[in-house]
A = this chain, B = another copy of it.
Amino acid sequence: MATGRTHRPATRSRGIPEATVARLPLYLRALTALSERSVPTVSSEELAAAAGVNSAKLRKDFSYLGSYGTRGVGYDVEYLVYQISRELGLTQDWPVVIVGIGNLGAALANYGGFASRGFRVAALIDADPNMAGTPVAGMPVQHTDELEKIIDDNGVSIGVISTPAGAAQQVCDRLVAAGITSILNFAPTVLSVPDGVDVRKVDLSIELQILAFHEQRKAGEEAGAEAVVADAVAEAAAADAPVAESDAEAAAPPAARAETTDRKGPDGDVPAVMPA
């Protein structure tokens, strides 16, 4: 392996739990909406409902930030918006570069949610020379050759990778070498980065796969045969006992099972790989 990636000692950041940090943006969004409606205060119950969490969790989360509420009353909306923004570091301006201006990159460049939260798209970068100069979201696409210079000139510390999987690691290496320390990766690949560099990934197909898993369970359950079916199969297979049952559409990959090795597996509808 290259460097120690996966390494996420989770920014033991002095105190705020990761799980809480991940929810702060959610609270902030809800609060912002309230603020726009000029609502002066909210109770943990109301805000929790708006953010889609339960109130105990919300109060516990806020307790890590300090005591920003008033007992018997609730929280002051404006004050909280400010405190959370500050905690998240959104009171400062964060220039970001987006590398890989395909469909997704363009979507990101046009995404209003960035600009509205202290993030400023400093540059759009693509390896295709033909794209250079083409305006996307009112901004000319620049060539990869400029990458280092752009990052340096703008003091960029956050990079977004929306290139095809094949180019991601390479782009990542250049970003890191150029001084970037936080990366948001949309390419379906595991990136290796040195310690000290933070990587978060968003994988569209993974989310769908997780949904499929639950969807499958639901189907199984309502079909009368408790979700136990798939289970029994798995266990039988594990136990190596040839599944005698007939009620499962699972278990025997054409020629898989006991003898393991050999064929490509299922009918052919098994994945087929291929990254974005």
Contacts and interface: CB of A to CB of B under 8 A. Distances in A.
Interface in A21-71: 21-22, 24-26, 28-30, 32-33, 35-36, 40, 49-54, 63-68, 70
B206 A26 contact: yes
Interface stretch (A124-132, A141-149, A170-178, A233-241): A233-241
A98 B173 CA distance: 34
Interface in A105-128: 106-108, 110-114, 116-119
Given A29-B275, A234-B87, A275-B32, A78 B253 contact: yes
A26 B210 CA distance: 11
Copies of this protein in the assembly total: 2
Nearest to A85: B271
Contacts of A117: 205, 208-209, 271
A238 B113 contact: no
Contacts of A5: 52
B216 A89 contact: yes
A211 interface: yes
A36 B275 contact: yes
A94 B211 CA distance: 10
Interface string A3-26: 001100001011100000110111
A167 interface: no
Interface string A246-267: 0001100110110011111110
Contacts of A89: 212-213, 215-216
A168 interface: no
A139 interface: no
Contacts of A226: 14
A211 B198 contact: yes
A263 B78 contact: yes
A11 to B, nearest CB: 5
Nearest to A109: B103
Contacts of A206: 22, 25-26
Contacts of A253: 78-79, 82-83, 86
Given A107-B106, A253-B82, A265-B78, A214 B273 contact: no
Can you list the 10 inter-chain pairs with the closest CB atoms, starting with the nearest? A89-B216, A66-B238, A113-B205, A103-B107, A92-B264, A52-B190, A113-B276, A66-B237, A66-B234, A25-B209
